[in-house]
Structure formats: structure tokens, C-alpha cells
Structure 1
């Protein structure tokens, strides 16, 4: 992927009335396109060019091609829409030549991978993926438990993208029955209930790296980590069987390639969870990821595409103004 020109776009809304802001979907016009098996860059020059289909490179070398892989591709269309293009990566050694021009590297479940495979992949990928994410690319990992507990987490750990220290619980063999939303302001958690039944194949890991969005009451199931201008996403589930909740999370992860952040760091009385909820829902419908922050976070803002500032109670510092 070419370097994204991702200077944060400031969308300042000065509201002196208490009424909620609603943005009609008619104001956001996005072209539609068919699903194809080619890779076309969707985000090389800023937000405007990301109106073209998102480009996804799908690594499926060790996946169940007749099951979870097909279910995952179907889930992209179901949760994000038909405005995407993808190309299959069937040999990990070809990542460096295949990845340029892609917005997302999607790693479907590593069902038949061994630890020897994981180590070989990590050694080949680590430098390429670090550069890809730092320059604005997103990596999404779907995980599960098969011969190896959480092979995806092991791959992240060995590439240095996301560290973990152990395995938590599992469904159906373990006792992981309920998942909990623990960060409702995060883009990955938008539209989720406070708790929901775990899906078949769901697994949790022990990690303090990144932002845990969903857990099992103790250990992480869904994690987002920001690196430079891009995102590393860990999803502790595969697509053995779809549920409404994992569809919601997965769709949010795909939408992260166009991320709008609502700033609540200066006592803004209008927030995404209530007064601006309709605005946020409309943006999600139009394939934008949305989140909110309660503390001014330059690392978080570097990785977003649009910053929304509503009427603030306290002043921004000179340093914050200069950053924006």
C-alpha cells in the first residue's frame, strides 16, 4: 500500500443549541461496486479516494476453504456491503509482493497451521507488516482453537504486532459462554449489547497490549492496537457459524479503514452515545467506523481520518490546537 496522506481532517461543529445533530445519509454518496478477485488501492491519497471499494488481501493458506473462509467472505458483504475487492494470498512467502495496494490484510482462521508454520510466517512477515501498519494499513486476525490454542495470537506475538501471555477460555470445549463489551466508545464495539452469548469457536487470550473491547469477564476476546497510522485487530472468533454480534464486530473492523473520531476530551456536552447517536449510526451505515475519546490522545488521532469536535466546555491547549 502506498503511504496514505492521512493528515487528520478537522470537522468542527459549533453547536449552541441542545438539539442533536443528524446527518442525512443523502449527504454521503458512495459508489457501489461488485465483489471481484483483484486488488485495487482504495486509500492512497486521503479520505476522498477511500470512497472507492476497500481493497482486502486475504491470507487463507491454512484455512478451511470450504467452510470458514467462504463464510468470512460472505460476512464481509453482509456486514460491510459489496463495496470491496479482494485477492487471495495462498503462500505466505508472497506477502511482500501482494500487499502493496491493499488497505487491509485479513487473516482467516489458521486451522491447519503448526507452530513450525507460525514461526516461519512470522520470520518472513514481521518487517513487512510493521511497515504496512505504521503507514496506515490495517491487519485483522480471526482466531480459534484447533490443534494449537489461538494460532493467530501466536502469529501476532511472534511478529511483534501484539503480545500475549497465555490462553484464557474457549467455546465449546471450555466454559466461555458469555462475552462482555468493556469499551463501548471503541469503534469495534459500536452496536454491541453489554453482554452476549459466545459463538462456536470463540477464544480469549491474556494480554495487556492494545485496547480490549470485548472480554469473557477476565481475558480479551476482541482487541484493537494502534501502530503509527494503522490498526492491528485481534478477533477471538472464526466464522464456523455467524452470529449477530460477531457480524457487528467484524463489520466494524472492516470499516476501520475510514475512521471518524468524536472528541470528548474537553467536557463536550453532546456525546456519541446519546445526543450524537443518530449521527454516528448514519456514518456506520455509510461504511465509516466511529469512536469517541474522553482524553486527548495524539497517537489515537494520528491513526484516524476525521476528527469531530463539538462545542467544548474547556479550552484546548496551544499544543493541542497546533496538533490538530
Structure 2
């Protein structure tokens, strides 16, 4: 039997294949110690097609009427990744609603008050159940014979008073905390043709007129949402179109709740305003739990943010928060130094974190203006997805944890030498934990910090002209923490534009070098 002998050409081909394969393999290997996290921008477009049921029984479905304009606005400002069906008989809602993510109610301009009241009463249980289970109800309105909001009123998903006024052409603006509905919307603009204000206290105001009267209102109901819009798309206006598109996106973006029910020292409307706005810009929804702690409202959120408060949490509230985390949700909790800031201790300790209750951390080597305003750099920052891109952080009188839960990962720690002490007493504070993260067996995640100062965009503690949130990597650390709590996975993190994977620079260079060597050897062999 004749056996084919390997030639130099065969050997060269094998060499090239091995070299190229090696280059690709190197690119696929994660960098040792590399700190990665998935793209911090929460997805603002879903890979799943959103399904919308559009109620049109009394709507204007003529050519270029409100129904057509509404769909056109969705196409322009949301995109085509949705499908819809029309509901032309209100009595069929019960048999159809479970197949959809969203119930869209365009202006029902031909319906009388009695007719729309009848619809609302018939839908009372269905709409509440639909929203509670995660559905989204979007209502568009104008001063028709019956007013479309009567459907929401009589179905008991949002309460209105009778008063409403046409505001066509008048200045309107985003409210102080518009949440995700205000993403990419101008701060102020002129109301389009077919716009009204209303009277309601049942939800968060998103858009208001110059006198503070609501135009767009967002209510969290169980796992879902009710969005009222005081415009009907008689004409397509850019900002109104974006609000409608953002309302559709509520079906898949995470909701972050800032608890201000215990007289928070860090309000989302003031000290944490830039942090909150950054989260909206990243694609998240944000809201405040105020004025009282509400278990039902908490159930609408994916992440709970707790910062230093002036009133204590009860054992019942602490248990509710523990159950919330054990349902797979996230908790971001920022303590403070000293004995007087004990209000979050019952919650921290329930999860296995115990803070030093005496004084603030100080660093004798690295600090800004005062030793109790330490700077923690690379030697203090531990490898974790949250610390991706973190160079250093600046603190302003922080506590530390002397105990953290089993399995928790240290994110930032004090120096492990004599320079790390407690302010005032000068006693050693070596290798203590300032920030840590843990994942419970339930899948719920927690990030705990020893202070909230690095979150504040209204304070310039060290008087250097830079607000604390923007000092060093403070803001990035806060945003990374939220991204990880939402469920960011380091293994799927490295994606560049258009979904093309990006890799650590040093390994990309190695792969290119290996490929270049293969090409050079090939050229050299050919010349021989």
C-alpha cells in the first residue's frame, strides 16, 4: 500500500493553522485578574417581540386618525419589534388579554361617558389582575365626549377627579423625577394639539404643566404598570412619541426603588439626583418609596436602594426586605459611621454584615485635606465585576465592616499597615472591609458600603470644586454595583458595538502577533 508522505507545504499549512488557532484561543481566554462586567447600559430594546392589544371600539380608526398616528409614533420612536392585534368589543377582553404584554387604550373619542363607564366597570377585575401580574396598561386621552380616563377610573386601576383643561400650545415639562418615561425626552416643550392636564394623586407625575398639574402619570401596580398620557396623537409630537415608546419598554427594563420612607438623609430629588439620572440614562427605571414603607410597592422593583435614614426600620420591615432579596432581587445598602447612624443596622446584621459603630476610618498616607477623607487605590480594590474600571475612590468619614457574610467578596478594603487607623482614637483599622458583595443561595444579591458620601452629587466635601459623586471612580463604583445587582454576568460581559465581542487588549495583541509570525514564516518559506 502506498502511503502519502508529508511535504514541506503540508507542514507549513499545519503550522499556519496551529498559529491562527493559538491566536484565536488566546483571544478567548479571559485576562488573569481582569475585572469585567456586562455593558452597564441596561437593554433598551428587547430581543423578544412585545405583544400589544389595542382597544379600538370607540377610537378614531380613520386614515391619519389617532389610531394610525399612535402606531406610526410607535414605529418611529420604539421600532418595529412588536406585534399588535385590535380589540373591537370590550366584552372579549377576558378571553384575549392573557396573550399580551401591553394593553394600549387610544383615545376613545366616539364613546360617551356612559359607554366608557360601562367598559371600565366590566374591566375592573381584569385590568387589576393583568397589571399585578406584570402587564402594562397605557391610556391616551383628550377631552372627548366621555374622556378615555373614565375606563381607568371605573376599573379602579387609577383614580381621577373630573377636572381637566386643554393645554394645546402651552409650555409643559418633565417633573423632578420622571423615571424611565423621561429618558431622552426634552426637559420642556410645547403641548401638542390634543393635550390636556388632569387632576389625580394616584401615581408619580412624569410630565406637568407650568402650574404643576399632571399630564403624564405613571403608577406601579403589583409587578406591572399603569401609564396615563394626556395626549391623543391627533398630531405626532417627538417628546410624546418618546414617552409612549418608553412606556412600552417598561415591559422589560429593571426597576430600581430608592426607599425614602424613613426620612432618608439622601433624597433622590437632591443629593442622589445625578446618580439616579445616570441610572435612567443606562436604561433603568427609578422611583422613590415615599412617604411610607409599602410591601406592595416594593414588589414592583428589582433593586432596593437603602441609604442612611433618620428613623429606624422595624423587625417586620427588615423581614420584608430579607424576603424580597430571597425572591431573587437586589439590595444596595449604604451605612454611615458612628453610634448615631444605627438605623440600618438591623437590616445589615440580618444579612451578616456588622459595622464598627464607633468612629470613622482614616488613612495617614493617602487622603484629601483630612485623614478621615481617605483615598483607596489599586492596593485596596479587589477583583470583582463591580470593580471593573475602578482606579480609586474617595471617602468622607466612612464606617467599616468587621464582619461580612460567609461567601461574601470584599470589594474595597483599608490598608493592611499602620497607616490605616480609626479617626480620633488612632487605633489600628488594618485590612477592614469598606464595601462587599454577596450572592445568597436564593439568587438575591447584596452590595453593602460603609458610607453614602460617594453617591452624593450635591456635596463637595473636600471643597476642591468637584462634587463627591464625580470624585475619582466614585460614580462608576455606584453604577457598577447596580449593574451587578441587576444580574450582570461577567462571562457574557465583553461585548462591543454590534454585539462583536471585545477582549482584553494584551490578549488581542498576542493573537495579532501570533498571526503575523505565521504570515512571516509563510513568506519566508515561499522565498526559499
Measure how far apart 1:293 and its partner are.
3.6
RMSD value over aligned CA atoms?
3.3
Question: 1:30, 1:181 → 2: CA distance?
Answer: 23
Residue aligning to 1:34: none
Q: TM-score of the superposition, structure 1-length normalised?
A: 0.73
Residue aligning to 2:439: none
Residue aligning to 1:23: 39
Measure how far apart 1:232 and its partner are.
1.1
Instruction: Please give the residue correspondences for 1:91-130 in structure 2 after superposition, counting only pairs within 5 Å.
Output: 91-130=89-128
Deviations 1:274-312 (A, max 9, x none): 3575664343xxxxx522447676444411345676673
Contact residue 272 and residue 280 of structure 1 kept, 8 A: no
Please say which of residues 303-312 and 134-143 is displaced more in the overlay: 303-312
Q: TM-score of the superposition, structure 2-length normalised?
A: 0.46
Aligned pair count?
274
Contact residue 183 and residue 280 of structure 2 kept, 8 A: no
Question: 2:333, 2:217 → 1: CA distance?
Answer: 31
SS at match of 2:123: helix
Question: 2:45, 2:159 → 1: CA distance?
Answer: 37
Residue aligning to 1:243: 237
Please say if 1:291 is aligned against 2:313: no
Question: 1:112, 1:267 → 2: CA distance?
Answer: 50
SS at match of 2:197: strand
Measure how far apart 1:224 and its partner are.
1.1
* Larger Rg, first or second structure (1 or 2): 2
Residue aligning to 1:302: 299
Measure how far apart 1:123 and its partner are.
2.3
Deviations 1:182-220 (A, max 9, x none): 233522223333322111110111111111221222321
Residue aligning to 1:131: 129
Residue aligning to 2:159: 163
Residue aligning to 1:274: 274
Measure how far apart 1:125 and its partner are.
0.9
Instruction: Please give the residue correspondences for 1:1-324 in structure 2 after superposition, counting only pairs within 5 Å.
Output: 23=39, 51-65=47-61, 66=63, 67-148=65-146, 151-172=147-168, 177-216=170-209, 217-262=211-256, 264-265=258-259, 274=274, 280-283=280-283, 289-293=284-288, 298-305=295-302, 312-314=334-336, 316=344, 318=346
Contact residue 168 and residue 203 of structure 1 kept, 8 A: yes
Contact residue 61 and residue 91 of structure 1 kept, 8 A: yes
Contact residue 204 and residue 221 of structure 1 kept, 8 A: yes
Deviations 1:94-120 (A, max 9, x none): 100110121110001111001121122
Please say which of residues 90-99 and 75-84 is displaced more in the overlay: 75-84
Question: 2:192, 2:156 → 1: CA distance?
Answer: 28
Unaligned runs of 5+ in 1: 1-20, 32-50, 284-288
Measure how far apart 1:264 and its partner are.
4.7
Question: 1:197, 1:168 → 2: CA distance?
Answer: 18
